[in-house]
Structure 1
Amino acid sequence: MGYTLVLTDDPAPFVRRVTLNRPEKRNALNATLRREILAALREADADPDVRVTILRGNGPSFCAGYDLAASGEEYGVDATEGSFQRSVVDGWISIWDLKKPVVAQVHGHCLAGGSELATGCDLVYAADDAKIGYPAVRFGTPDMQYHAWLVGMRKGMELMLTGDSLSGVEAAQYGFATRSFPAEELEEKVLEMARRIAQIPADVLQINKRTVHRAMDRMGFRDAIRAGTELSAVAVHTDGFKAFIESAREQGLTQALTARDGAFGDGRLLTQGGA
């Protein structure tokens, strides 16, 4: 099918690559981009000539988060409490449920919704200097609460209470990422790993992928992620969340984000994106 915001190519035998192509917005997720990511991954999953898929971003970042300028209606969700949060989790969990492995190639910013997207992938390889985190906890609660599961309770708690980011090196140390590499080596290292995976017969790969996800399911991973949508829905009614949204309306998103992050000394000036 034709796509407007993702690119696809086959850089090696049995390897499909899906590239988020909204670089001027740091690949911030709007409704169209989210739909096309999932559609392209499903298309690769159904292709008998594909054994593994790489997901990456064009431009300076993997994905800066959700585009806060987009409305809920654009995502096809209704006004039911928590509808958007459930749609986010359902979308990214659907990547786990694909037959074939999906590898995230993370560089630059991987924030908020971008980190949720990476969470849905089976493997995550990051640039050493990537910035991975959920700064939006400074005014709200994540849709997909992966923190305690992927980086442990203590570090997960710290990230949830500060909104601080991990470098790619730290993300690999704590378990969010599989490995990290120097930024200039990332693409080739990811492709090298994809080639290694693609040497295994597709039917065996699919079973082996499921063994890991089945184990995580038995430990409650999927249920916990889904349950978190209720807390995320409650958070939109807090005074802190409402104050940030009002600030963004009055001052503009860039100024609101600058004010939000200023006290933390890590001002993420994402002038054209989400987070």
Structure 2
Amino acid sequence: MSDYEFILVDDPAPWVRRITLNRPEKRNAMNNALRGEVFKALEIADRDDSIRVTILRGAGKAFCAGYDLAGANGQEQPYYTPGGIGNWPRHVVQGWFTIWDLAKPVIAQVHGYCLAGGTELATACDLVYVAEDAQIGYPPVRTMSPPDMQFHPWMLGMRHAMELMLTGDAMNGVEAVEKGFANRAYPAEQLDEKVLEHAERVAKVPADIQQMNKRSIHHAMEIMGMRAAIRAGTEVQALAFFTETSQTYRAELRKGVTQALSKRDETFGDYRTQGQKKAGD
């Protein structure tokens, strides 16, 4: 299981596979190569009769800080998506639904930052367990666009979704559970142990019946329109790129990612600018 550059794979318990995003120096920001390795490892686990559940987690201080904005994500994408306007949001949503459609359950183990595309990765999983002090948010709504995968109203309900979409603020792990994004929150130092306990309980159910259990929930959500609404949301995301604010911000990103992100968040005093004085204080 060592034929990967950006992930680690191990089997920490019987029936349990674990995939660790392994770009800690980048807070596990996702480039196309990393995403491709994740999808490959998940497919291998889904085909393996000795595996019944997979855990996804991040190495270092964060689960995943989002997409790698310096990663040339329009090139060498890990699977084909028709090109043209809106290719990127359609592409990533296609991938996240690949996880949704796997036969076997996937668990997201979230600690530290879980931002932007990182929240989409967690959303694609079947169960989400978080550290109490995790920071979960979608700050690109402040200057770029709505999410590629617009999960907010489905996971959080209208009012919580609206607040997070209109501010780009983050939830901590406890709030994420209260608002419906995550299943349970634990102290960070207990998260590995607790997630493995949940995975072992899930793995007690044979895979042939578990895939039916999983599909029953997904079919119910699809009948209510979740899949169609999320796919439709990709068109709104693509349209947002033509706004003046988004074009200006993306020009700043091309000059320097770190500087642009700091400028985005400094008036809010959060994320990488945590602790800085807010405008008007």
Shorter-chain TM-score bucket reads over 0.9
Give the Cα–Cα distance (whole angstroms) in 2 for the partners of residues 220 and 44 of structure 1: 29
Q: Report the Cα offset of residue 54 of structure 1.
A: 0.3
- Tell me the residue number matched to 2:235: 230
- Tell me the residue number matched to 2:39: 38
- Tell me the residue number matched to 2:128: 124
Query: Under a length normalisation based on structure 2, what TM-score does the superposition of the two structures give?
Result: 0.93
**SS at structure 2 position matched to 1:54:** strand
Query: Under a length normalisation based on structure 1, what TM-score does the superposition of the two structures give?
Result: 0.95
Task: Confirm or deny: 8 A CA contact 1:254 1:269 kept in the other structure.
Answer: no
Give the Cα–Cα distance (whole angstroms) in 1 for the partners of residues 127 and 214 of structure 2: 10
Task: Confirm or deny: 8 A CA contact 1:23 1:58 kept in the other structure.
Answer: yes
Does residue 150 of structure 2 align to residue 145 of structure 1? yes
Task: Confirm or deny: 8 A CA contact 2:67 2:116 kept in the other structure.
Answer: yes
Superimposed CA distance per residue, residues 55-85 of structure 1 (whole angstroms, 9 cap, x where no aligned partner): 0001110000000002212326665011111
- Tell me the residue number matched to 1:109: 113
Give the Cα–Cα distance (whole angstroms) in 2 for the partners of residues 258 and 7 of structure 1: 30
- Tell me the residue number matched to 1:273: none
Q: Report the Cα offset of residue 129 of structure 1.
A: 0.3
Give the Cα–Cα distance (whole angstroms) in 2 for the partners of residues 223 and 16 of structure 1: 31
Unmatched 5+ stretches in structure 2: 275-281
Does residue 9 of structure 2 align to residue 4 of structure 1? no
Task: Confirm or deny: 8 A CA contact 1:65 1:113 kept in the other structure.
Answer: yes
- Tell me the residue number matched to 1:209: 214
- Tell me the residue number matched to 2:278: none
Does residue 69 of structure 2 align to residue 65 of structure 1? no
Give the Cα–Cα distance (whole angstroms) in 1 for the partners of residues 187 and 104 of structure 2: 27
Give the Cα–Cα distance (whole angstroms) in 2 for the partners of residues 183 and 103 of structure 1: 16
Equivalence map 1:233-244=2 (5 Å): 233-244=238-249
Task: Confirm or deny: 8 A CA contact 1:28 1:63 kept in the other structure.
Answer: yes
- Tell me the residue number matched to 1:200: 205
**SS at structure 1 position matched to 2:109:** strand
Identity %: 60
Give the Cα–Cα distance (whole angstroms) in 2 for the partners of residues 78 and 95 of structure 1: 19
Give the Cα–Cα distance (whole angstroms) in 1 for the partners of residues 107 and 61 of structure 2: 19
Give the Cα–Cα distance (whole angstroms) in 2 for the partners of residues 92 and 16 of structure 1: 19
**SS at structure 2 position matched to 1:28:** coil
Superimposed CA distance per residue, residues 85-113 of structure 1 (whole angstroms, 9 cap, x where no aligned partner): 11100001110100000000000000000
Q: CA RMSD in A?
A: 1.3
Runs (4+) of structure 1 exceeding 6 A deviation are none
Unmatched 5+ stretches in structure 1: 271-275
2:93 corresponds to which letter in structure 1?
A: V
Count of aligned residue pairs for this structure pair: 269
1:124 corresponds to which letter in structure 2?
A: V
2:95 to 91, 96, 105: 91
Go from structure 1 to structure 2 and tell me whether the alpha carbon gap of 1:80 and 1:97 turns closer, same or farther (over 3 Å shift).
same
Does residue 77 of structure 2 align to residue 75 of structure 1? yes
Give the Cα–Cα distance (whole angstroms) in 1 for the partners of residues 207 and 154 of structure 2: 28
